[in-house]
């Protein structure tokens, strides 16, 4: 969640400079960072964005796929989120959000320990629970480190591979650097060694990729390829309720924003994000929303974990959520019971 708070700090740097904000609102190309210096505050803005990219620029939606465009390769992808942060938050919001979250966590801890003390052998139970809370609080963040390190390395590998691909383009072996995305690693090694390439392989695989993109994968598929179907077994839900899994408690009402691509994220304070799935690259959006609905996910998938970190009611595993809920509709998200109601 630090990644989302850090982008609030970037917004704070830009906030005092109307010329820069106006310029960013009309950015179309990815060389915009170089032209920033023409405006008052432009140099500070450029440095703040570069500083952010030096820490998080290797991330992007679908980052586990090495072929996806990283933020460092296309910084304009972050502009809608930065502008949203300027519009929806006051200065110093990241510190206030962090402090507020910390305060809420400490209060909840105290409430829990006080309740435990009322039980038989309560002092001992409270002592053991306090130890566990401290352990989790101090160490849970480390689960993010392996993924961060891995994605960092992926970007280094990608740059090395594209450098090799550029040599192949120069030698006329392939027509564009992205063609190597359609080869296995062993095939690429062979092409680099022999400087010979069968164009038909790439053409065929590009066509297959386009075809596969149109397919809708099953909700559940086992390791043996078995497809399991079923419905949620839940009672006492209101009629017309859209059912999912409750993963972060609380009830919230607001405007649904159905967003399938992070670059189209035009969020206002109090909106509820409705999307197919989220991964770490979506984290900066979580700062400005009040609730979350996703089509895919479970108790420990990314969206659910971050929603709990930010204290947002969330329902995941909602089949066809992005089709059943229309952008702009007012909805109520029951994060405790695990359903959504269109108001």
Task: Spell out the domains of the chain, with CATH numbers in brackets.
Answer: 2-93 (no CATH), 242-342 (3.50.30.10)
Q: What is the pLDDT of residue 286?
A: 86
Measured CA to CA, the distance from residue 192 to residue 333 in angstroms comes to 53
Q: Kindly give, in sequence order, each residue whose CB lies less than 8 Å from that of residue 31, ignoring residues fewer than 6 positions away.
A: none
CA angle 29, 32, 35 (to 5 degrees): 140
Q: What is the pLDDT of residues 276-294, one digit of tens each?
A: 988 888 888 888 899 999 9
302 counts as catalytic: yes
Nearest alpha carbon to residue 330 among 274, 284, 287, 247: 274
Measured CA to CA, the distance from residue 265 to residue 5 in angstroms comes to 17
Q: What is the pLDDT of residue 110?
A: 95
pLDDT at residue 29 greater than cutoff 80? no
Q: What is the pLDDT of residue 270?
A: 85
Please identify which of the residues 22, 195, 224, 302 carries the catalytic annotation. Answer: 302
The pLDDT of 26-52, averaged and rounded, is 89
Q: What is the pLDDT of residue 67?
A: 93
Measured CA to CA, the distance from residue 247 to residue 11 in angstroms comes to 30
Listed range (119-123, 158-162, 226-230) with the worst mean pLDDT: 226-230
Measured CA to CA, the distance from residue 256 to residue 340 in angstroms comes to 11
Is 200 within 8 Å of 223 (Cβ atoms)? no
Measured CA to CA, the distance from residue 267 to residue 87 in angstroms comes to 9
- The pLDDT confidence band at residue 125, using thresholds 50, 70 and 90, is very high
pLDDT at residue 180 greater than cutoff 80? yes
Q: What is the pLDDT of residues 49-101, one digit of tens each?
A: 999 999 999 999 889 999 999 999 999 989 988 998 898 888 888 898 889 88
pLDDT at residue 28 greater than cutoff 80? no
Is 313 within 8 Å of 249 (Cβ atoms)? yes
Q: What is the pLDDT of residue 216?
A: 82
pLDDT at residue 1 greater than cutoff 80? no
Distances (CA, A) of 105 to 125, 137, 243, 252: 19, 10, 29, 19
Nearest alpha carbon to residue 265 among 251, 250, 283, 247: 283
Q: What is the pLDDT of residue 12?
A: 94
Tokens read off for 103:
């305060």
CA angle 2, 282, 183 (to 5 degrees): 115
């Amino acid at each position: 969640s630090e990644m989302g708070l850090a982008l609030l700090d970037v917004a704070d740097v830009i906030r005092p400079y109307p010329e820069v904000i106006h310029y960013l609102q009309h950015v179309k190309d990815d060389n915009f960072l170089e032209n920033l210096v023409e405006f008052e505050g432009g140099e500070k803005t450029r440095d703040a964005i570069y500083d952010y990219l030096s820490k998080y620029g290797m991330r992007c939606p679908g980052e586990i796929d090495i072929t996806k465009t990283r933020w460092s390769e296309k910084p304009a992808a972050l502009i809608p989120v930065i502008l949203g942060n300027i519009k929806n938050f006051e200065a110093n919001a990241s510190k206030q959000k962090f402090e507020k979250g910390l305060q809420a966590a400490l209060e909840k801890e105290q409430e829990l320990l006080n309740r435990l003390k009322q039980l038989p052998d309560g002092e001992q139970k409270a002592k053991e629970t306090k130890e566990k809370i401290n352990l989790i609080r101090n160490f849970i963040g480390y689960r993010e480190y392996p993924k961060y390190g891995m994605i960092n390395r992926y970007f280094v590998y990608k740059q090395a591979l594209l450098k090799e691909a550029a040599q192949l383009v120069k030698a006329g072996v392939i027509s564009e650097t992205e063609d190597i995305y359609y080869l296995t690693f062993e095939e690429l090694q062979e092409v680099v060694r022999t400087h010979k390439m069968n164009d038909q392989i790439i053409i065929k695989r590009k066509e297959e990729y386009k075809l596969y993109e149109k397919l809708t994968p099953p909700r559940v598929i086992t390791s043996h390829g078995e497809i399991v179907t079923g419905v949620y077994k839940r009672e006492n839900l209101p009629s017309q309720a859209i059912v999912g899994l409750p993963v972060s408690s609380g009830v919230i009402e607001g405007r649904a924003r159905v967003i399938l691509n992070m670059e189209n994220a035009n969020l206002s304070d109090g909106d509820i994000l409705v999307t197919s799935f989220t991964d770490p690259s979506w984290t900066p959006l979580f700062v400005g929303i009040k609730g979350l609905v996703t089509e895919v996910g479970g108790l420990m998938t990314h969206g659910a974990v971050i929603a709990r970190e930010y204290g947002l009611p969330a329902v995941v595993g909602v089949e066809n959520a992005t089709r059943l809920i229309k952008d702009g509709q007012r909805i109520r998200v029951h994060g405790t019971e695990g359903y959504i109601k269109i108001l």
